[in-house]
Structure formats: C-alpha cells, structure tokens
Copies of this chain bind each other. A is one copy, B any other.
Amino acid sequence: MTAPPGRRERKKAATRQKIADTALRLFLERGYDAVGIRDVAAEADVAVTTVFSHFASKEALVFEQDENFEQRLTRAVTDRAREEPLIPALRREIQALVRHCTADSAAPIWRMIDESPALRKYEESMRLRHAESLATAIAADPDLAQTTTACRTIARFAIDGYSLAREAADPETALDEIFRMIEAAWAAARRPEDVAGTARP
C-alpha cells in the first residue's frame, strides 16, 4: 500500500487526475451543462470509455474527493481519544469539513453544484452513503452500545448538520445551534432503563 507504486499505477493515477482536473477546469470555464463528456475526453486527450473507466458518471468527476470525505467522517469516530464522547468528536470533524467547503476558494465549485440539479442530486445521495458509513462506524463502537436505529438516526442528523450549516448564512453559529440539538437527541437515545448503568442482565 505504501510501497513504491509501479509505473503502471502511477500512470493510471496520472490519467485519472488529468481527467478530473481537465473536467473541473472546463466545467468552471463554460458551465457544467455546456460541457459534454466528449469535450472532456477530447481535452484530456483520452477516449470517452477511459473517462468512464475512472469515474462512474459525469457527476462523479466533480466529487473526486468523495472517499476522502467519507474516511474523515468514520475516522473521526473510530480514531477519537478513548474518553472523548461521540458527539463532540463528530462535531469537530464536521466543523472542519464545513470550513473547508465554505472557504472562498471553493465558492465557484459550490455555486456550480447548486446551479445544477444533476449535481445536487448526486451530492444528496452521496451524503446518504456517507451517513450509512458513519452509522456503521458508530454502531461498531462497543462503548456506545446503541440500537442500530439510534446509530443510523444520529448519523443522518450529523450529515444533515453538515449540509445545513454549509448552506447557512453564518455556518459557524448554525453548526452550534444544530449540534446542540444533536447532542440532546443523542442523550435521549439512551433508553430510560439504561441510563443508570451499561450492564444488562
């Protein structure tokens, strides 16, 4: 994995990157809808089929960082300090992600996304995928011992928080407000009979 990658893998990664870079540049220059896959392929000097061997769809060209995002979320849960409670750890990571998305340099990209129904739809179902991964990571933590329903619910709430804060006029205070609600929801998820202790007969 960390061993020096062979020439083949480097070339593949380079091709992938070149396609992604070219696509994003064209999309920003001429608008997402005005650029066809055939345009991207021609400009990146590859065949149309090569584009689709690296990316599952035209929309995926824009969300190249997809898996990165997903890993950061799950790791925020699995790699947190032993004593750190779930919600603050989640909150920290999501705040970082929101800051990343609302940075000035990312503004043109997000404007493009907001203007294209296809891209919005793609991002929405991407978020749901991330919420499922997050739910799995939460459910796997033995310290929490929650029902799968509670885990899935809190995962969705967290992703909702990311999405809503990103869109808010003041992302920071919005995230504050939302995570106060999430914290309360998480506290309520512990069933009454379990509040006194974690052990069960």
Interface positions of A (Cβ within 8 A of B)? 120-122, 124-125, 128, 147, 149-150, 152-154, 156-157, 160-161, 163-164, 168, 174, 177-178, 180-189
CA of A149 to CA of B176, assembled, Å: 10
Q: Are A188 and B180 in contact (CB under 8 A)?
A: yes
Q: Are B177 and A184 in contact (CB under 8 A)?
A: no
Number of copies: 2
Q: Are B153 and A164 in contact (CB under 8 A)?
A: yes
Question: Which residues of chain B are near A174, meaning CB under 8 Å?
Answer: 149
Question: Which residues of chain B are near A154, meaning CB under 8 Å?
Answer: 181
Among the listed B149, B152, B163, B184, which residue makes an inter-chain contact with A185, where contact means beta carbons less than 8 Å apart? B184
Q: List 6 interface pairs A-B (beta carbons < 8 Å), by A numbering.
A: A120-B125, A121-B122, A156-B160, A157-B185, A184-B184, A185-B188
Among the listed B120, B178, B188, which residue makes an inter-chain contact with A184, where contact means beta carbons less than 8 Å apart? B188
Among the listed B120, B122, B157, B168, which residue makes an inter-chain contact with A149, where contact means beta carbons less than 8 Å apart? B168
CA of A185 to CA of B153, assembled, Å: 12
Known contacts A121-B121, A181-B185, A189-B180; is-contact A153 B149 (Cβ 8 Å): no
Q: Which of A122, A177, A187 has its CB near the most chain B CB atoms (within 10 A)?
A: A177
CA of A168 to CA of B128, assembled, Å: 16
Question: Which residues of chain B are near A182, meaning CB under 8 Å?
Answer: 185
